[in-house]
Structure 1
Amino acid sequence: MKFFLSFVAVLVAILLYIRFVPSAPINPVLPVEQGQEEVNGHNSEVPKGSGEEEEAGEENHSSTSIAPVAPGQTYGAAISPDGALPMTALNTALGARDSAQVKLVGKASAVCQAKGCWMTLPTADGKEMRVRFKDYGFFVPKDLSGHDVVVSGWAYRSTVPKSELQHYAKDAGKSEKEVAAITQDEQQLTFMADGVRVVN
């Protein structure tokens, strides 16, 4: 009987602790400032690196916490170039599946000029695959375009809404006319990277 009463007392204590002691949510929803439109977390608060990113206007953010482009430099999770497939092998790696975990090597062709929060890699069919960064936990330098990089993560097929395509076009520095010319959703290959490594 004593054992049972002790067990009940411990259980009640644990339940009271859980109920009344505040704890941080496991996956908090971050606030979006009033008047801002959130596009895939683009405008949400991003964890700051040791350099503490400071805002310099709504679309102009400093990137002091982002290490400069250099061969071997990694952003996000540390990854090795070993076993990376060329972009031309992506369709084979995906096959008929909607997604696949892969490591790819290709030449960065465009980078978000607002924060460095996405980049694109050309595919074998001449289109662009947008590479986003897991949980917006890291950025890449805005001058990464033209460098060969290795990305590790998930490639997947998705339908990108027109509004998101327009948002990306603005980030890339396209003119208002070019942004307005985007009038339809688009089927695209997208990549969610947990790490990026500069090859050269």
Structure 2
Amino acid sequence: MTAHIDLSKAGILAESSAVRVALLPPVARFSLRAATPEQKALSKALGITLPAKIGQCGRKGDIEIICLGPDEWTIIAPEDQAGMITDACAAIYAKTPHSLTEISDREVTVRITGPKASDLITIGCPRDLDQLPVGEARRTVFDGVTTVLWRDGDQDYRLDLWRSFAPHVIALLETGCGELAGE
């Protein structure tokens, strides 16, 4: 059964001694596409080096950039910094063509933490989590839903997913949280 959840309210969705699942507050999100020659100028304009390796993350303050492909990044920042990002990219567009698209309303983020966080992720994600280094992220699937999985700590993950699939994924995570609590 799909859960009916207010995705506008951050907070704990499920919690046990094994794991906690929480919906994080909204953030500004951008999809950035650029060819290799433009990457250096974009890094300078944004004040953060665009990571070159797929899965690598760059961070400066509250802004994070993940490399999702050879010419594709997602930028995540506090909502009040969205204007700074769009202005920085717009200022160099004439000499540095690129595509910057705001996707803030498309996705939500669920944080999964606790001693059984990895176990909970594996109920829907086929990826070997031991191969995902702390501080990196990967595009993957969770029960057939395309997601981006961030590993922030040994048992600390973020799962970015499209808003339309969130109720399904959250329902699975809530059920899994309950099952892990019973072990």
Judge same fold: TM > 0.5, yes or no. Answer: no
Higher strand share: 2
The alignment's TM-score, normalised by the length of structure 2, stands at 0.25
The structure that has the greater radius of gyration is 1
Name the structure, 1 or 2, with higher relative contact order (CA <8 Å, separation 6+): 2
